[in-house]
Structure 1
């Protein structure tokens, strides 16, 4: 046990100088150092606690945990995974209980961070040279030599090493989180999804440091600078403000922070908040604002800067992808309109079919992504008509059987035009062009497919196309009255059209009538 006379006489000395490592409080949990005493003598527990009752290192005291046997120590280790130091006796219920516990901690638990200080009252049973060579311990002391001063010195050295190890471990985890999150953000194609992922992953990176950021953190991502900046993703207090203008949501101090970052074109770090500024190669500006953090250490800022450099490249990719998608959309709608113009059909036909199709897709339960994909692809359903001769395409009278056979080829012509593209929109358009004249009962063309054999995109577009065709005036017919259109669609349930789609259409017909009126051909000037 400890030498009580020496313990009471020695005065515990505290270091005046605090190192940079000691100031990095994020390496361990705030509050107190958790230290375990594992010894079968209760007096050792009492004396150790008394001698170190006013111990403080790096601004934190001690939270004591006691175990009186190696078996009890295992239970303590399971309940307290964040132990910093273990003051461990060698001889307890068995002669080498302490040594066996060391092996358990290092090899079975894989805990290499906790510092183990072996204390023995019987050094002959566990010779220092043998123990230090064969067991992963960090210090070896005979109980008789552990004066209060030496115990203090030993503990400070152990805690300093533990703190350094935790800093290295957290830094490693931070870099791993950046590598992992970077691969994820480069897969994002939507600006909103991308921004939301960036906020989530940034918080994840910083929360490796339990002190660096509080649970009540609030953040948002802003697209565009100036008065028209819009929140595209948010957490915490701002989670309900997505799609709103920043100036309508944020208080004046936050607006000033963000305006300063945009004006200086650089990131800003304040005591309890920071702004990360991004500028893409295309000139687009974005920013991430985060509040609720404790003052960030240099390493935190370094992690943020590394992550931000990857995010900046990903922002460029998003903008380029959006530009490509926008170009694709323009090409698709333009081609659709060219086809309709050539066949002298209604000018808003492709727009209406696109909107009808998206609504039907949503009612059917397709994802928002698929519904939008269908909206973009459906205008190409008749693209194959560019290969049909004018005298057949625009014939005002009834077509002969031979002429109708020619008209039917527009499905395979359209598919042939589009099938080789790897782009999602074009691939979907190819399927729609090929199958939108197939029928639920198998009597359609070109392949006589039945209900579930027809892609859902084509089934939806078919109903949308027929509804709009019947409701619109064409060179060969007048527009049908709405009651006759409804009667026809109902009559074709399970024959020409997917029964479920017909039911959804009839249940929500007012939505389709709204779209028809919104894009009425009479509004074209």
Structure 2
């Protein structure tokens, strides 16, 4: 069968090329000579600075095992007739329909062209090329493999670009969440390395935005990794000096040069881009596996990334700092309310914890849970309008006193209403509505059902449970079982039945919070 291969005359000697990585090509054929001749014909093959790594399988069954072990095979040179007349076609069907792998390029090679009609095979088995062994000269084999690798490269680049775009779109929905911003940068970085055609697909984005006051930073390039991919994917949160990438003197000097010159340094098969900042912070993009023929338009794209990504990130960091300050202010305000109510038992802390837990069981997203967590401590802020005598009264309230208590939600709304802060707006709703009942018998509006905001319904359950469990001036502490039974009896009356169902399913978690 080897004699069927027709090789052209000797090609002129090719100068040795430095390669970075390789393309995996699986040869599936039951004749060892075919493997030897294919490897010989493509021994000096290089495409985009990457050579070929050959993997051999001598039967359809062996080919299936190898395909399962290697999900990055670029091309399968597949014989049709091996242990059975259709062994090759079974392999093609396995790859496409069972493994759902549509990236790998499948090139059929057969010594019996009539065994499987070409048109039928290509259509039914998603074959990318179909060649008779008698027509495959060395030059034609080179052309077929080159064409297959180009297609595989483009499919991988498109897939990677889609993944990056998906991360960007997903993060854009909640762009001011710091975790979403990390995802946003990771997505943009993934798009960038895809467009650049990086062979090794390795990149990190590092900044010292978090380290302005960090005395531990001893080197100019000791930055914190906030996004990474490839071999660095699990290094997020580490310092650049901990990665080992700057141990090479040339690379170390390139890092220093990028920071000193505030520019983009291209060297060997990598780049280091200094990312511009409005503040006195350093941020760097490191990408390795660059092809040798990177174009000017691709360099423009790197420059665009460097100009804009750090500005976006620092804008988010500024918002995070503002949110942190606002959260601290709310906590202090909640503490002031707690002190005014002479509550040293941790009521507000536990109500907040129980509310957050119940919100999580209900299925609230991270941003909603954060809002609920910050709004819950202010649920009783209206009570600061009550006199000390009324707050400390041990026995039943008379009608006038009860009317004053019923005004507390209104006072709470008046204190918090009108703010442009989303957190304060939610806190105002909770303070105003958390005394409403599911059946409409509550106060101050006597609204019912889902007309009561979900946050207020959640806080009401947490507040009543915690109050029942605590020893107050006018009552002794109830047991967990007695408090849960009360919630159950008042389901669909005071409380949202869906929330009570969640409490009953997880009541031990409620008790654990109270004991903490």
- State the match for 2:191 in structure 1: 204
1:341 CA displacement: 1.0
Which of 458, 474, 477 is matched with 1:476 structurally? 474
Measure, in 1, the Cα distance between the counterparts of 2:446 and 2:391. Answer: 23
Once the two structures are overlaid, the 10-residue window that deviates more, 452-461 or 213-222, is 213-222
- State the match for 2:290 in structure 1: 293
Which of 486, 489, 503 is matched with 1:488 structurally? 486
- State the match for 2:198 in structure 1: 213
- State the match for 1:412 in structure 2: 410
- State the match for 1:511 in structure 2: 509
Deviations 1:308-340, CA, capped at 9 Å, x for gaps: 222222223212211111111111111111111
Measure, in 2, the Cα distance between the counterparts of 1:400 and 1:217. Answer: 73
Question: Which runs of 5 or more residues in structure 2 are unaligned?
Answer: 1-47, 50-160
Which of 459, 462, 465 is matched with 1:464 structurally? 462
Deviations 1:488-520, CA, capped at 9 Å, x for gaps: 1121111111111111112122333333333xx
- State the match for 2:398 in structure 1: 400
Deviations 1:290-321, CA, capped at 9 Å, x for gaps: 44433555543433233322222222321221
SS at match of 1:438: coil
Q: 1:353–1:378: 8 Å Cα contact kept in structure 2? A: yes
Q: 2:352–2:376: 8 Å Cα contact kept in structure 1? A: yes
Measure, in 1, the Cα distance between the counterparts of 2:224 and 2:398. Answer: 57
Which of 238, 247, 253 is matched with 2:245 structurally? 253
Once the two structures are overlaid, the 10-residue window that deviates more, 360-369 or 221-230, is 221-230
Once the two structures are overlaid, the 10-residue window that deviates more, 352-361 or 300-309, is 300-309
Q: 2:283–2:310: 8 Å Cα contact kept in structure 1? A: no
Measure, in 2, the Cα distance between the counterparts of 1:381 and 1:258. Answer: 55
- State the match for 1:343 in structure 2: 341
1:283 CA displacement: 5.5
- State the match for 1:189 in structure 2: 176
1:487 CA displacement: 1.4
1:425 CA displacement: 0.8
Measure, in 1, the Cα distance between the counterparts of 2:392 and 2:332. Answer: 20
Deviations 1:242-297, CA, capped at 9 Å, x for gaps: 5x54579x641268869985894656554334444558656566554444433555
- State the match for 2:446 in structure 1: 448
1:347 CA displacement: 5.0
- 1:81-480 equivalences in 2 (<5 Å): 188-205=175-192, 207-209=194-196, 212-214=197-199, 216-219=201-204, 224-225=210-211, 231-239=225-233, 244-246=237-239, 251-253=243-245, 261=255, 264=259, 266=262, 269-277=266-274, 286-294=283-291, 296-480=294-478
1:483 CA displacement: 1.7
Question: Which runs of 5 or more residues in structure 1 are unaligned?
Answer: 1-57, 60-173, 519-525
Cα 1:508/1:387, change in 2 over 3 Å: same
Cα 1:389/1:197, change in 2 over 3 Å: same
Length-normalised TM-score, structure 1: 0.56
Measure, in 2, the Cα distance between the counterparts of 1:388 and 1:262. Answer: 64
Measure, in 1, the Cα distance between the counterparts of 2:278 and 2:363. Answer: 38
Measure, in 1, the Cα distance between the counterparts of 2:252 and 2:497. Answer: 54
SS at match of 1:252: coil
Measure, in 2, the Cα distance between the counterparts of 1:339 and 1:273. Answer: 58
Q: What RMSD over aligned residues (CA atoms) do the two structures have, in Å?
A: 3.7
Measure, in 1, the Cα distance between the counterparts of 2:174 and 2:307. Answer: 16
Measure, in 1, the Cα distance between the counterparts of 2:313 and 2:489. Answer: 51
Length-normalised TM-score, structure 2: 0.57
Measure, in 2, the Cα distance between the counterparts of 1:354 and 1:260. Answer: 51
**Which is higher, the Rg of structure 1 or of structure 2?**
1
Measure, in 2, the Cα distance between the counterparts of 1:262 and 1:348. Answer: 52
Q: Which runs of 4+ in 1 moved over 6 A?
A: 184-187, 255-260
Measure, in 1, the Cα distance between the counterparts of 2:342 and 2:254. Answer: 55
SS at match of 1:321: helix
Q: How many residues align?
A: 339
Cα 1:436/1:271, change in 2 over 3 Å: farther
Deviations 1:119-165, CA, capped at 9 Å, x for gaps: xxxxxxxxxxxxxxxxxxxxxxxxxxxxxxxxxxxxxxxxxxxxxxx
Measure, in 2, the Cα distance between the counterparts of 1:281 and 1:517. Answer: 48
Once the two structures are overlaid, the 10-residue window that deviates more, 439-448 or 468-477, is 468-477
1:219 CA displacement: 4.1
